[in-house]
């Protein structure tokens, strides 16, 4: 069978769907072309960029028939920046697409039957929980820093000491998000999904760095000082933390940094340095030290107070986090007597929500610092019916089982890769009445639900939650119940 398109050809494509990355799925004589910026229901003119056996990529040139869901992106750099993927799509359409994205994965990967229409049985997938105001929701900015003008190698001779040489002769600091599919930084002054106070931090750090002649880290040469600026803002408390991630121990004129930040941003209560000398795209290094102020900032979720350090994992959308965790607690069906295990518990956020209605909650997390945070957060809220332990969930939970810990409910909130297979086997062996699965990746959610279904559980319902408006990401929380003998619930 011959491929009906060729590279550089101008074609007309009918857009029939969106990929999980937000690209339009186009059809040209039965052949699939992925077209960035195109929406389902549209007819577009596009230039073919790359052709493979089963599919190709094309650049949209003109919209011949626009979707009724198309809107004008309010962000000036939307077409350059890779931070958002769906600003050209109405918010209502995004919520519908995210639900369908979850449904498609549950059917295709999980082989699950979805209730709806004439089909009465099957998994209930609710409408996506959206936001009343889906802008300015992020409480944390992690912004890479670069240099304008000359490259680092031209600015500094090879003999310069990369840790100690922290000032530049030409060029100036820029900071923003990476262009889609690259490590090219798009300089920005404002991000419409960031808390405005985080924008102020990034602008201020750039200004101070430029004034002091500070260099930015260069990935290719390994030279330069400032790698990332991280800003965290307490949604309820208003407290702010600034983290300067550097490629060395010494920050030139550090007292002027601190003095300028404090003068411009009185809400800042913590200024921290993180040292990362490794040639890696991981943001944080192992060494963190306080330059001024407190080691943590405080914030609240649904009346529970949390201490947040520079490297703590803390959900970036506090309003939707409360909606997500309330749904997880509802699905847990707690009466005040249950033993609950919270796998991948982090700093104890879900654990403490659960503990208000459970008999006892056991949390496990592989990061020791997070477990220390979880213990402190329980103490901070005078919640004493929790036990936290550091280690891999697939190791710690089987040991708890051997020690006689029989949970009524197990809650999992794994990373994007989903649950470890050994943990799933342990859940099946422990046979809790309910499993509540909080997921940030519909494909691994569907895969793991299939394993649990085959092991004797039934997926009752799934609630998608829009944690990251204007992006392709969708969180979900699923309720599974154990089948009784005979296969009925």
CATH number of the domain residue 44 falls in: 2.40.50.140
* Residues with active-site annotation: 440
Q: How many domains does the chain have?
A: 3
Q: Which of 39, 65, 91 is the last residue of a domain?
A: 65
Number of C-beta neighbours around residue 195 at 10 A: 23
177 and 50 inside one domain: no
* pTM of the predicted protein model: 0.91
Q: What pLDDT was estimated at residue 180?
A: 78
pLDDT tens digit sequence for 73-87: 999 999 888 889 999
Residue 243 included in any domain: yes
297 and 333 inside one domain: no
pLDDT tens digit sequence for 119-166: 678 999 999 999 999 999 999 999 999 998 634 433 333 334 444 345
Q: Which residues have a Cβ under 8 Å from the Cβ of 138 and sit 6 or more positions away?
A: 191, 193, 194, 195, 198, 316, 317
Higher pLDDT, 54 or 169: 54
Contact status, residue 204 vs residue 120, Cβ threshold 8 Å: no
264 and 324 inside one domain: no
Average pLDDT, the chain: 92
253 and 368 inside one domain: no
Nearest to 21 by CA among 447, 473, 414: 473
What percentage of residues in the chain have a pLDDT greater than 90? 85
Q: What pLDDT was estimated at residue 149?
A: 60
Mean pLDDT of 95-108: 98
Mean pLDDT of 297-309: 95
Q: Which residues have a Cβ under 8 Å from the Cβ of 275 and sit 6 or more positions away?
A: 245, 246, 247, 248, 249, 285, 286, 287, 288, 289
Q: What pLDDT was estimated at residue 130?
A: 98
pLDDT tens digit sequence for 477-487: 999 999 865 44
Residue 93 included in any domain: no
Mean pLDDT of 452-463: 98
Q: Is the pLDDT of residue 489 over 60?
A: no
The CATH number of residue 255's host domain is 2.40.50.1070
Q: What pLDDT was estimated at residue 85?
A: 95
Higher pLDDT, 1 or 468: 468
Q: Which residue has the tokens 């029989």?
A: 406
270 and 226 inside one domain: yes
pLDDT tens digit sequence for 9-26: 999 999 999 999 999 999
149 and 294 inside one domain: yes
Q: Which residues have a Cβ under 8 Å from the Cβ of 351 and sit 6 or more positions away?
A: 342, 345, 361, 363, 374, 378, 386, 388
Residue 193 included in any domain: yes
The span from the CA of 374 to the CA of 390, in Å, is 10
475 and 333 inside one domain: yes
Q: Which of 273, 301, 329 is the last residue of a domain?
A: 301
The span from the CA of 37 to the CA of 24, in Å, is 7
Q: What pLDDT was estimated at residue 82?
A: 82
Strand ranges for 52-116 from DSSP E: 55-65
Q: What 8-state DSSP symbol labels residue 228? A: E
Q: What pLDDT was estimated at residue 1?
A: 63
Model confidence at 462, pLDDT cuts 50, 70, 90, reads very high
325 and 296 inside one domain: no
341 and 439 inside one domain: yes
Residue 308 included in any domain: no
Half-sphere exposure at residue 137, Cβ-oriented, CA atoms within 13 angstroms:
20
272 and 376 inside one domain: no
What percentage of residues in the chain have a pLDDT greater than 70? 93
The span from the CA of 164 to the CA of 63, in Å, is 52
The CATH number of residue 352's host domain is 3.40.50.150
Nearest to 293 by CA among 227, 239, 225: 239
Q: What pLDDT was estimated at residue 155?
A: 36
Residue 393 included in any domain: yes
Half-sphere exposure at residue 229, Cβ-oriented, CA atoms within 13 angstroms:
24
Residue 120 included in any domain: no
297 and 402 inside one domain: no
Q: Is the pLDDT of residue 460 over 50?
A: yes
Q: How many helices (H) and strands (E) does the chain have?
A: 10, 22
Residue 114 included in any domain: no
How is 34-54 classified by DSSP, letter by letter? EEET--TT-EEEEEEEEE-SS
The span from the CA of 293 to the CA of 309, in Å, is 12
pLDDT tens digit sequence for 25-45: 999 999 999 999 999 999 999
Q: Which of 65, 83, 110 is the last residue of a domain?
A: 65
Residue 167 included in any domain: yes
The span from the CA of 368 to the CA of 350, in Å, is 17
348 and 291 inside one domain: no
Quote the domain boundaries for residue 200: 140-301
């Amino acid at each position: 069978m011959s491929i009906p398109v060729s590279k550089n050809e101008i074609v007309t494509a009918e857009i029939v769907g969106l990929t999980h990355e937000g690209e339009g799925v186009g059809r040209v004589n039965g052949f699939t072309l992925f077209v960035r910026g195109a929406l389902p229901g549209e007819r577009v003119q596009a230039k073919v960029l790359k052709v493979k056996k089963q599919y190709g990529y094309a650049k949209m040139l003109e919209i011949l028939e626009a979707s009724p869901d198309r809107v004008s992106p309010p962000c000036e750099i939307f077409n350059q920046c890779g931070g958002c993927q769906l600003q050209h799509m109405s918010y209502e359409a995004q919520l519908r697409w995210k639900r369908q994205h979850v449904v498609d994965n549950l059917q295709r990967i999980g082989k699950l039957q979805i209730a709806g229409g004439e089909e009465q049985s099957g998994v209930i997938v609710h409408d996506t929980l959206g936001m009343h105001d889906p802008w300015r929701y992020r409480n944390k900015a992690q912004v890479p820093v670069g240099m304008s003008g000359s490259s680092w190698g031209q600015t500094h001779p090879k003999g310069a000491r990369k840790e100690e040489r922290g000032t530049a002769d030409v060029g100036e600091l820029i900071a923003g998000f990476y262009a889609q599919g690259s490590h090219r930084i798009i300089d920005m002054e404002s991000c419409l999904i960031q808390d405005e106070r985080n924008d102020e931090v990034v602008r201020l750090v750039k200004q101070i760095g430029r004034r002091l002649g500070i260099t930015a880290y260069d990935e290719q040469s390994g030279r330069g000082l400032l790698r990332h600026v991280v800003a965290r803002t307490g949604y309820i408390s208003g407290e702010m933390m600034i983290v300067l991630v550097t490629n060395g121990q010494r920050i030139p004129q550090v007292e002027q940094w601190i003095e300028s930040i404090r003068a411009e941003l009185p809400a800042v209560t913590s200024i921290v340095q993180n040292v990362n000398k490794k040639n890696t795209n991981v943001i944080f290094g192992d060494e963190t030290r306080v330059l001024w102020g407190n080691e943590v900032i405080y914030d609240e979720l649904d009346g529970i107070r949390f201490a947040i350090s520079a490297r703590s994992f803390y959900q970036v959308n506090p309003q939707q986090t409360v909606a997500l965790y309330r749904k997880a607690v509802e699905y847990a069906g707690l009466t005040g007597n249950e033993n609950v295990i919270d796998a991948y518990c982090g700093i104890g956020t879900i654990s403490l929500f659960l503990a208000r209605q459970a008999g006892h909650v056991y949390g496990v997390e592989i990061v020791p610092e997070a477990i220390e945070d979880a213990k402190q957060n329980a103490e901070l809220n005078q919640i004493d019916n929790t036990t936290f332990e550091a280690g891999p969930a697939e190791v710690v939970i089987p040991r708890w089982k051997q020690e006689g810990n029989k949970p009524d409910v197990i809650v999992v909130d794994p990373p994007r890769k989903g649950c470890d297979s050994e943990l799933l086997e342990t859940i099946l062996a422990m046979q809790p009445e309910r499993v509540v699965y909080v997921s940030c990746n519909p494909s691994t959610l569907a895969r793991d639900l299939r394993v649990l279904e085959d092991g004797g559980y039934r997926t009752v319902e799934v609630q998608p939650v829009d944690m990251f408006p204007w992006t392709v990401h969708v969180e979900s929380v699923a309720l599974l119940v154990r089948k009784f003998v005979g296969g009925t619930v």
